[in-house]
Chain A
């Protein structure tokens, strides 16, 4: 993928299909320690050890329309080609955690891209699922937790235009705070 945020979208959609009610998306990076880690953790149906082996195999897919599935394999490759690492841990009935760790300064590092749009689209398109997005770098950290939003909103759906706009604004401001002008 041209942006890692597209990989995040792809994996988060797997969480949606796994009927998760809570999805935690964490992006942690440090220029000082030269890494970027993306973690997507859900409380969906989870997978057996065998299924975990299958999802990293590009010749396996649960779809019937074609015989290869490249979402997870390409995510894994993007991390490994920077000298980083990739892992999936899962438990049936408990959920799945997917983590990609990158060496940020590597020349083959894919840009993170527009992660804020990915998060706001995921929230807007799945208003019944809770998302917790946390971004951390050398300058600080921020979190968007839709469970907290729900408390304040008292029944107003998360896909309401005003709410969506507020979420986008919040993400933009918070990103500006810790990333300065260079958001990507």
Chain B
């Protein structure tokens, strides 16, 4: 499963386009950035409501495949610029974390 596949199958909105052919092998949910940075698995789709510059840094550090902003959580302008620079893919959906994660589970299994 690639990021591109997730976008198509889950009808996600692309806010910042990074490497869309990147593999997604796992899913992680978390909003407390200091917690997420040490725990989100590499190559996972990270579901959060935090769309600020620090989220981009966490995604870079944890090497997640993409950030998915759930419940249409907003992306800061500053964060958008940094995500562009660092090639971090940012997607958005109106679903909440639970509903989206259930669908991702279906796709990954």
In angstroms, how far is the closest chain B Cβ from the Cβ of A139? 31
Contact with B along A4-16 (1 / 0, CB 8 A): 0010000000000
Asked if A83 is at the interface of the complex by the 8 Å CB criterion, the answer is no
Among residues 110 to 158 in chain A, which have CB atoms less than 8 Å away from a CB atom of chain B?
none
Contact with A along B46-86 (1 / 0, CB 8 A): 00000011101110110000000000000000000010001
Interface stretch among A22-30, A64-72, A162-170, A172-180? A64-72
| Cβ-defined contact, A74 with B86, below 8 A | no
Asked if A77 is at the interface of the complex by the 8 Å CB criterion, the answer is yes
Main secondary structure on A side of the interface with B: loop
Contact of A70 among B32, B34, B82, B86 (CB under 8 A): B34
Number of A-B contacts (CB under 8 A): 37
| Cβ-defined contact, B32 with A77, below 8 A | no
| Cβ-defined contact, A59 with B61, below 8 A | no
| Cβ-defined contact, B60 with A67, below 8 A | yes
Interface centre among A2, A58, A59 (most CB of B within 10 A): A58
Asked if A73 is at the interface of the complex by the 8 Å CB criterion, the answer is yes
Main secondary structure on B side of the interface with A: helix
Q: Which residue of B lies closest to A68 (CB)?
A: B57
Task: Name 29 interchain pairs, CB-CB below 8 A, sorted by A.
Answer: A2-B32, A2-B34, A2-B35, A6-B34, A57-B53, A58-B53, A58-B54, A58-B56, A58-B57, A59-B56, A59-B82, A59-B86, A66-B61, A67-B60, A68-B58, A68-B60, A68-B61, A70-B33, A70-B34, A70-B54, A70-B61, A73-B53, A73-B54, A73-B57, A74-B33, A74-B34, A74-B54, A77-B52, A77-B54
Smallest CB-CB A-B distances: 10 pairs: A58-B57, A68-B57, A1-B34, A73-B54, A68-B61, A58-B54, A74-B34, A77-B54, A68-B60, A70-B57
Interface of B toward A, CB cutoff 8 Å: 32-35, 37, 52-54, 56-58, 60-61, 82, 86
